[in-house]
Amino acid sequence: MAKPLRIALAGLGTVGAGVIRLIETNASLIARRAGRTIEITAVSARDRHKDRGIDLSGYAWEDDMTAMAARDDVDAVVELVGGADGPALTLARNAIAHGKSLVTANKAMIAHHGLELAALSEQARVALKFEAAVAGGIPVIKGLREGAAANAIERLYGILNGTCNFILSTMEDTGRDFADVLAEAQAKGYAEADPGFDIEGTDAAHKLAILSAIAFGTRIDFASVETAGIARILAADIAQADALGYVIRLIGIAETDAADGTNRLFQRVQPYLVPFDHPLAHVDGATNAVVAEGNFSGRLLFQGAGAGDGPTASAVVADLIDIARGDLGGEAGAPFSIQVAEMEAMPPAPSGHRLGRAYIRFVVADRPGVLAEITAAMRDAGVSIESLIQKGRAETEGDVLVVMVTHEGPESGVREALRLLDGSASLKEAPLVMQILGD
């Protein structure tokens, strides 16, 4: 058997500890599948004395994690610290500069600096692997890079954040409102103490930008992802969606768009109404699911645990097994399936001309003429209304919820209608717009 793959591990949180447990528990199986053993030689974390439930005495400890990249007894570095910049990025750059392969679960770093790191890894002829950065233990990156490699991906979409999916599906099951369920998610460890990255859609947008680059061969463009979160969704929205035949899910969607003759990339993360009969409507709890539509393969569905120490550690160690086998991702390494120099820089696609149906919820004053004002704005903007429902809001005396579903039309029409209503004294808060997911 070949000499061991020696790794240094930075970050000993739940995932880092999970990686150690997995390598120790399945050592014999991993060695047989990788063709050699995988051995941890050095570790690093902020608190050396914290009890993590694992024995670290057999590993060298580095107080400065960025120094691990220079160790002679390290072949590959695993970065599980997190953060787009700072020590994580320094470690990543140092590892590649010292000829070490890099495995990371850091979706923020890859979304912001992935192209730089990929170009460096290609030049150094070392691997850059980040399966664990998207959808936890689901092998969606490997599925796109390898299983669907012969296909032109026409559309990519899915549920990319387990925290939001847990919150929305729990609201659906219990009828409770957002703040109450968020507190439960935090108590169960599904949401951070500061849940902003999750509930505002940023985490899902990081993942979508990474998947878009792999699926479409485009340069990562996180800044162009249209992003909206779930904090404004009410229990009343969940109930009304159910009555109409839908569930609400935070969906990331990406596809190429050549409507104006220029090949552009459309990327969006926002809550969608999903029909009961769509596969994503049945994805509950902290589960993730990604749908990729290939021109020959048809619809591919990747579904499973999107977070947690076990699933994420599984993805990290799978990347290490690939490295142990000598897989750099192509002859000279291509972390995004295509060499960085050949990745296309697509401008962002405008969304105004996109055709679809929309759910619009207004909170309005309970007085005569309000409905006429809203419908007049829709008429003047060329928006056709399919259904309109008005209900009192028990928790706020004098306020009324007005919900409408539009017929199919360009998104620009809804935006124009809301522009016409902007500043109206009848509206108690900004309207909430959610698109309806099509086939």
Q: Does the pLDDT value for residue 394 go beyond 70?
A: no
Average pLDDT over residues 215-221: 95
Asked if 264 and 363 sit in the same domain, the reply is: no
pLDDT at 186: 87
Asked if 319 and 423 sit in the same domain, the reply is: no
The angle, 0 to 180 degrees and rounded to 10, between the axes of the packed helices 107-124 and 86-97 is 10
CATH of the domain at 256: 3.30.360.10
Asked if 229 and 106 sit in the same domain, the reply is: no
Asked if 42 and 130 sit in the same domain, the reply is: yes
pLDDT at 417: 96
Asked if 110 and 177 sit in the same domain, the reply is: no
pLDDT at 169: 95
Report the candidate in 299, 112, 289, 359 with the shortest Cα–Cα distance to residue 213.
Answer: 112
In a domain, 320, yes or no: yes
In a domain, 257, yes or no: yes
Region for residue 338 given its phi and psi (left: phi exceeds 0; alpha: psi -120 to 50; beta: otherwise): beta
DSSP string, 283-313: --TTEEEEEEEETTTEEEEEEEE-SSHHHHH
Asked if 378 and 394 sit in the same domain, the reply is: yes
More confident residue, 368 or 357: 357
Which amino acid, residue 361?
R
Model confidence band, residue 1 (pLDDT cutoffs 50, 70, 90): low
Asked if 33 and 107 sit in the same domain, the reply is: yes
Average pLDDT over residues 71-78: 96
Whether residue 8 contacts residue 94, with contact meaning beta carbons closer than 8 Å, is answered with no
Per-residue pLDDT reduced to its tens digit, 9-40: 999 998 999 999 999 999 999 999 999 999 99
Q: Does the pLDDT value for residue 221 go beyond 90?
A: yes
pLDDT at 439: 65
For residue 108, give every residue at least 6 positions away whose Cβ sits within 8 Å of its Cβ, in sequence order, or none. 82, 83, 84, 206
3-class DSSP state for residue 223? helix
Asked if 284 and 380 sit in the same domain, the reply is: no
pLDDT at 397: 62
Q: Out of 142, 207, 391, 428, which one is annotated catalytic?
A: 207
pLDDT at 137: 84
The pairing of beta strand 358-365 with beta strand 432-436 = antiparallel
pLDDT at 64: 92
pLDDT at 334: 86
In a domain, 343, yes or no: no
pLDDT at 310: 87
Largest CA distance in the chain: 82
Asked if 190 and 214 sit in the same domain, the reply is: yes
Query: Residue 136 and residue 305: Cα distance in Å, rounded?
Result: 6
Asked if 150 and 263 sit in the same domain, the reply is: yes
Average pLDDT over residues 287-304: 94
pLDDT at 194: 87
pLDDT at 362: 96
The angle, 0 to 180 degrees and rounded to 10, between the axes of the packed helices 309-324 and 27-34 is 40
pTM here is 0.94
Model confidence band, residue 299 (pLDDT cutoffs 50, 70, 90): very high
- Annotated active-site residue 207? The verdict is yes
Average pLDDT over residues 99-127: 96
pLDDT at 165: 95
CATH of the domain at 108: 3.40.50.720
More confident residue, 47 or 156: 156
Query: Residue 164 and residue 176: Cα distance in Å, rounded?
Result: 14
- Provide the domain count of the chain: 3
Query: Residue 331 and residue 164: Cα distance in Å, rounded?
Result: 39
Average pLDDT value over all residues in the chain: 92
Q: Does the pLDDT value for residue 332 go beyond 90?
A: no
Model confidence band, residue 258 (pLDDT cutoffs 50, 70, 90): confident
Query: Residue 390 and residue 409: Cα distance in Å, rounded?
Result: 23
Domain that holds residue 301: 141-305
**DSSP code of 341?**
G
Average pLDDT over residues 421-436: 95
